[in-house]
Amino acid sequence: MTYTIESLFNKSTAYLEVAIISSKAKDTFGYNTSEYTNVTANLLHHATELFLKFAISAKTNELPDNEHNIKKLFKKYKKLFPYEKYHIEIPFTNEVEYLGFSQKEIEQHKKDFPMPFELQLRYPVGSKGERDSPITKYDTDLLEHYQEQFLKLRCQIHPCQEV
């Protein structure tokens, strides 16, 4: 499929909007399961990946098509957009924070769930049969923060078309 720069941004915001909607479903059946919350995180992952591809494509006129690694895409983004006005906070660029867990619990968790976090969001089970982590959660405020940043940078990165 051929993407335009605008369609990359539009798809990014669509994924993020659905992630926000799912984050608001706290009282629904299944919300507190890893399967449900990892779907929200997966949507956020795709939104972030597509936003970074939008920005990179807008600057280079080339789509980093086969790259899915957020850290690598973000590194390229920062190189292409080094100025403060393009600064953005995005997920999946740091180590997973295990808030409220002891060091012993963290070590056990990593042993029980060895698949890299980014892959956990895309696949329910790793190639060696590893299970996904049950502790992925993103609250609505954080997701809306990402959305605000994406929208703020949209026209600074690529000229917005008049409607």
For residue 32, pLDDT beyond 70: no
Question: Model's pTM, two decimal places?
Answer: 0.81
Residue at token pair 């970074």: 52
CB 137 within 8 A of CB 37: yes
Asked if residue 63 has pLDDT above 80, the reply is yes
Residue 135's pLDDT band (cuts 50, 70, 90): low
Q: Using the predicted structure, report yes or no on whether residue 163 has a pLDDT greater than 50.
A: no
pLDDT of residue 95: 62
pLDDT band at 50 (very low <50, low <70, confident <90, very high): very high
